[in-house]
Structure 1
Amino acid sequence: MSHGRGRRWARAAGPLAALVLTGCGIRETDVIEAGGPATVDYLSDASVDALLFFRLPHGALAPAARPLGTHADADNGFRSRPASTERVMSALLGGPSKAERAAGLGTALPRTAGRVELRESATSDEIALTLPFSPAGLDGTALRQLICTAAYSRDRAGLATVRLTGPDGVSETGACGLGLPAGDRDG
């Protein structure tokens, strides 16, 4: 007897399931594009803070504003002065602060005791830096950290081209807004 009831239930459930699966008349739609990737807005004093680019846990870069410049009371004749590119790059190589690490920021850069030196650039929109290590062994995230931090240290829009050269003569060149640097290897 229970077999007969089960069959009848199954026959009745078929049309009911079809009705449920129609989604109450809601049609399927395609994916709708809503614009470009998200951007990060931050508030900082453009003459004092530096933007350091660190890695998020999923690998993307995020800017961290740090006060690295000098600031004094303008009424007493002191003026704000942004940090030098060398100082900004040294802060980047020092890694994220405790608060930045707690916010989930990390780095793909090697720990180093050396310092970054600014060299004479061929043009005003180029930054040439000598690193204490070769850029040849760095992954794309590490190169982008260096390039974006250097670009924003010179230009608040981050539009400068950056050339990184290691002690071995190997160079990588890139721009922050273009994704992973294509890099041209010399040496």
Structure 2
Amino acid sequence: MRRGRVLGALLPLTLLAAGCGIRATEVVEAGEPAIVQVAPAGQLGMVLYFVSSSTASRVMPVVRYAEWAENGSGSGLTYGEKPPAGAAKALGLLFAGPNRAERDAGLRSELPDRRIKIGVELSAQGVRVALNTQVTGLSEPARQQLFCTAAQARTADRGEAVTVTGTDGVIGPARCAV
């Protein structure tokens, strides 16, 4: 009788140890994350990173579009005053903050809201950004806004190292964590 109880108690443990027929496997490399073209045909865009108020200060990508339109100048491109032009333009728009639709969607910026002189140098070591403002006291979300926007302006995979120099020192090199 006692032997039957012991066997009855060991049976669930034996099944658990057997794993119900699931075999152990090695780690399977699946490659890089998917990259999706987000700009519809006929539009040019750049990706900026703002802070979501609803997800504990998580940095979120936003696509800003420049639309083709008849604007009388013959260029066919309208985007505020000037068309987007690389990393410096993307960072300028980032410092300008979210537009009304982005704010209505719960996005904000942790970067200072003022006109900043921006210099961008692209090299084999990554992106070097020079700003005429203090940078060492920026919050982590603000730093990620800078790193991700500058890296995205350089390459679509945000894998570039970014170094930001300000009036009070240097932050980075760092990579976008999004």
TM-score when normalising by structure 2: 0.64
Unaligned segments of structure 1, at least 5 residues: 1-38, 180-187
Q: Which residue of 2 aligns with 1:158?
A: 158
C-alpha distance in 2, partners of 1:65/1:117?
A: 22
Listed one character per residue, the Cα deviations across residues 146-176 of structure 1 (whole Å, up to 9, x for unaligned) are 0000110111111111110002343322111
Q: With CA pairs under 8 Å and 6+ residues apart, which has the higher RCO, 1 or 2? A: 2
Cα deviation for residue 72 of structure 1 reads 7.6
Cα 1:62/1:79, change in 2 over 3 Å: same
Q: Give the secondary-structure state (helix, strand or coil) at the position aligned to 1:67.
A: strand
Q: 62, 65, 69: which is aligned to 2:63?
A: 65
Q: Is the 8 A contact 1:135 1:172 kept in 2?
A: no
Q: 1:40 to 1:84 in 2, by over 3 A?
A: closer
TM-score scaled by length of structure 1: 0.61
SS in 2 for 1:134: coil
Look up the SS of the partner of 2:88 in the other structure: helix
Pick the structure with more strand per residue.
2
1:1-25: per-residue Cα shift (whole Å, max 9, x none)? xxxxxxxxxxxxxxxxxxxxxxxxx
Aligned mate of 1:105, from 99, 104, 107: 107
Unaligned runs of 5+ in 2: 1-33, 78-82
The SS at the match of 2:129 is strand
Q: Give 4+ residue runs of structure 1 displaced > 4 Å after superposition.
A: 39-42, 70-73, 77-82
Distance 1:140 1:66 in 2: 23
Structure 2 letter corresponding to 1:55: V
1 CA distance for matches of 2:40 and 2:159? 19
Return the letter of the residue paired with 2:119: E
Residue 183 of structure 1 corresponds to none
- Aligned pairs, how many? 134
- Structural RMSD (CA): 3.0
Q: Which residue of 2 aligns with 1:88?
A: 90
Q: Name the CA distance, whole Å, in 1 between partners of 2:37 and 2:97.
A: 20
